Amino acid sequence: MSRTIVGIDLGTTNSLVAVMMDDRIVVIPDAEGRPLLPSVVALSSAGIQAGYSARARLNDPETTVIYSAKRLMGKSYADVVPELSRLSYPVESVRDLPMIPDKFRNRHLSPPEIGAIVLGELRKRAEMYLNQTVQDAVITVPAYFNDAQRQATKDAGQMAGLNVLRIVNEPTAAALAYGFGSGKDGTFAVYDLGGGTFDFSLLEIRKGIFEVRATNGDTHLGGDDFDQAIVDHWLSEQPALKKAADRYEVRDLLRKEAEKAKIALSGTDSVKISIPSLGFESTLTRKTLNHLVEPLIQRTLSPVHQAMEDAGITVDQVDGVILVGGATRLPRIKEAVSELFGKPIYDTVDPDLVVAEGAAVQGHILSGQRKDLLLLDVTPLSLGIETMGGVMSTLIPRNTTIPTQAKEMFTTFLDGQTRVDIHVLQGERELAKDNRSLARFSLTGIDPMVAGAARIEVTFMIDANGILDVRAVDQKTGQSQGVVVHSSYGLSREDVRDLIKDSFLHAKEDFETRLLIDARTEAQTVLNATRRALQRLDDAIVPPPERAQIQEQMKRLEESMGGQDGRKVREETSRLDQVTQPLAERLMNHSVQEALGGKSVDN
């Protein structure tokens, strides 16, 4: 009998485990028949609980209840600070890592340890159901997870006694659950709206090869926001409630009622709400609900468009849209997605279960050593180095398929320069200071030469796990220097999105600044070269009128460089290029003749 490999969806709100049995996917339920396990852990003097029982203690002051730990996975404390106001449990910084104090046992728990408790619960569940030990697993993560987050997820599995054979992207898993990859080719969109996060990915599937073409999303947008919108609506409807809603329990009660009403409205047009304890009565229609959630649905569209643009895929090229996440049950969402794509919607697999089911399929493939499927991944953020004037020069743009390698030739800016500093950056903004610094190193021992003569080759290599290796080589001396950027330096998922979002907000101003800096830098180089040439060449080669004309244009260029208009600087630079072009051609001819042994020219 071949070994059993389970598939696990370790979610922000809920987790679940599935397995393939006799070519059928089974989502393994708990003893009470429930397929989901809330990703919640409760710490109390009585012990540690996970799942429904932990969630039930959310308002118990004697218990520390930990939820949404996935948001903390693989991040530094500094990374999670913006997250903390949303969490009602304490998170402390221990060696710059976010740790949750367990006051009952006088210790701290890390996010992977919390994940391990949830995974352990799922493992127990699977062992009971299958009546055998379970060790091998495939765990899913959002396509956006960087390597540190993937590694943290792997660590969590290991702590739970699992051998994590593969980390799979959630959208890829969803497609696997629908049986894509064997026979069904095309480009598919995966629209994943969970409890608190939104992810959108574009997948291309051809003859068993799954390629994530682009991915984007919003880490703080999901079904919970829909519930909140309903509560806000009630509060504005009955202002008397507002005072009572200051209390956590009342808010909680209202949210639960809102969630119930929302779910009910997926099947009916109108629902009555009655909370006697608050003296609250109301009716919510589907029409009102649609109106309330419309702005939230609109918010999902911007990541959708961005991913499409990144992938260079138009709506017409999408063959279908897979819906994932409980919030996509809302009829208005299906409608909005249909309107946007006009393509078949895949929603027959339960959107809460589909990712775990896909993970089970992947587990099945791995157990059989099937090689007909291959999952190709991309890097979520652009990588590059800082260049003259503090701008970022990108070597590897985001959404590039990995592994990948990029080489580019750089040069010196000053005459006689003997070292260059290589500052490795990650992010989408124009200016180096606005992006994340990954590493710095210097290349020394460059032969002193005139500016622009040195040739320094910088190579970026990203392996299949997303780990970056940067190397700089002086082509003349062979001097080389490099650094390996470990994933732990990488960014948090929120950072990834914030950086991308930032780059759109500031695109215009960044663009202008960069244009100016680049134009000035280029102008300076052209000026220096021209000046040197004019000094070197006598009147026989540059007749005085031509020299005067060139000098005149040099002056104009210098004047423009004093201003703030990068375009003007560019125009003047290209004019200088044009007036010196005849001279350049003559020089070229001379040197060619010289090389061919013709009449030599004085230098």
Partner 1 sequence: MSVSHAHADPSLCWNCRETVSDSDICPSCVKIQPIGRKADFFSILGLPVKLLIEPERLTASFHEKSRIFHPDFHQGEESGEQLISLENAALVNQAFKTLKDPFERAAYYLDLTAPHHSPQGQKTSLSPALLMEVMELKESLEDVVQKEGKTKALSRLSENISAAEKQILEEMEAMDKLSAQKQESISIMTNDKRTSLRQKLEYRKYLKSIERDLKGQRDPGPVLKT
Residue 533 Cα to chain centre, angstroms? 48
Cβ nearer to partner 1, comparing 204 with 352: 204
Q: Is 9 a catalytic residue?
A: yes
Q: Does the footprint of partner 1 cover residue 404 (CB under 8 A)? A: yes
3-state secondary structure of 12: coil
Per CB under 8 A, the list member of 29, 101, 186, 397 interacting with partner 1 is 397
Strand positions, DSSP E, 233-302: 270-275, 280-285
The reply to whether 572 sits near partner 1 by the rule CB under 8 A is: no
- Say what angle helices 566-595 and 507-536 make with each other, to 10 degrees: 40
Helix (H), strand (E) at residue 480: strand 480-485
Helix (H, G, I), strand (E, B) or coil at 11: coil
Task: Say if residues 469 and 484 touch (Cβ distance below 8 Å).
Answer: yes
The piece of 107-115, 330-338, 384-392, 442-450 that touches partner 1 (CB under 8 A) is: 384-392
- Please tell me whether residue 177 binds partner 1 under the rule CB under 8 A: no
Residue pointed to by tokens 């600044």: 513
What lies within 8 Å, CB to CB, of 122 at 6+ separation is: 6, 8, 15, 16, 17, 28, 37
User: Which listed residue (59, 283, 444, 574) binds partner 1 by CB under 8 A?
Assistant: 574
Residue pair 40/54 in contact (Cβ under 8 Å)? The answer is: yes
Of 62, 63, 84, give the one whose Cα is nearest residue 54.
Answer: 63
x/- map, 439-468, partner 1, by CB under 8 A: ----------------------xxxx----
Cβ proximity to partner 1: between 14 and 435 the closer is: 435
Within 160-215, residue ranges assigned H as helices are 170-177
Catalytic residue among 192, 204, 310, 430: 192
Query: Going by C-beta distance under 8 Å and a sequence separation of 6 or more, which residues neighbour residue 277?
Result: 253
Q: Which two tokens stand for residue 586?
A: 């003559």
Position among 53, 405, 442, 589 found at the interface with partner 1 (CB under 8 A)? 405
Active site annotation includes 343:
no
- Choosing from 206, 242, 247, 370, the residue that interacts with partner 1 (CB under 8 A) is 206
Q: What are the φ and ψ backbone dihedral angles of 289, each rounded to 5 degrees? A: -55, -45
Stretch that binds partner 1, among 38-46, 110-118, 231-239, 398-406 (CB under 8 A): 398-406
Residues 406-425, interacting with partner 1 (CB under 8 A)? 406, 408-414, 417, 420
Say which residues have a Cβ less than 8 Å from residue 21's Cβ, sequence separation at least 6.
none
* By CB under 8 A, residue 158 contacts partner 1: no
Position of tokens 């009916």? 268
Residue count, binding to partner 1 (CB under 8 A)? 49
CA dihedral 442, 448, 452, 458 (to 10 degrees): -30
170 assigned to active site? yes
Q: Judged by CB under 8 A, does residue 376 bind partner 1?
A: yes
- Shortest Cβ 522–partner 1 spacing (Å): 5
Residue 393 binds partner 1 (CB under 8 A): yes
Residue 577 binds to partner 1 (criterion: CB under 8 A): yes
* Binding of residue 573 to partner 1 (CB under 8 A): no
Q: CB-wise, 492 or 503, nearer to partner 1? A: 503
Query: 292 vs 517, which CB is nearer to partner 1?
Result: 517
- Binding segment for partner 1 among 93-101, 264-272, 557-565, 576-584 (CB under 8 A)? 576-584
Radius of gyration of the chain (CA): 30
Helices (H), 47-137: 52-55, 77-84, 111-130
Closest CB 405 distance from partner 1, rounded Å: 4
The catalytic residue among 79, 147, 170, 510 is: 170
- x/- letters, 508..537, toward partner 1 (CB under 8 A): x-xx--xx--x--xx--x------------
Select from 46, 240, 374, 601 the one that contacts partner 1 (CB under 8 A): 374
Using CB under 8 A, which of the segments 22-30, 261-269, 341-349, 374-382 binds partner 1?
374-382
Q: Per rule CB under 8 A, is residue 388 in the interface with partner 1?
A: yes
192 is catalytic: yes
**Least distance to partner 1 from the beta carbon of 173, Å?**
16
Q: What is the DSSP letter of 488?
A: G
Residue placing its CB nearer to partner 1 in the complex, 350 or 558? 558
For 528, the token pair is 């220096």
Across-strand partners of 212? 203
Nearer Cβ to partner 1 (10/378): 378
Residues linked to residue 175 through DSSP beta bridges, in sequence order? none
| Contacts with 8 (C-beta within 8 Å, 6 or more apart), sequence order | 15, 16, 17, 18, 119, 122, 137, 138, 139, 140, 157, 356, 359
Task: Tally Cβ neighbours within 10 Å of residue 375.
Answer: 19
Q: Is 403 in the site for partner 1 (CB under 8 A)?
A: yes
Q: Are 42 and 63 contacting, i.e. CB atoms less than 8 angstroms apart?
A: yes
- Catalytically annotated residues: 9, 70, 170, 192
By CB under 8 A, name the binding residues for partner 1: 206-207, 209, 371, 374-376, 387-388, 391, 393-394, 397, 400-406, 408-414, 417, 420, 430, 461-464, 503, 507-508, 510-511, 514-515, 518, 521-522, 525, 574, 577-578, 581
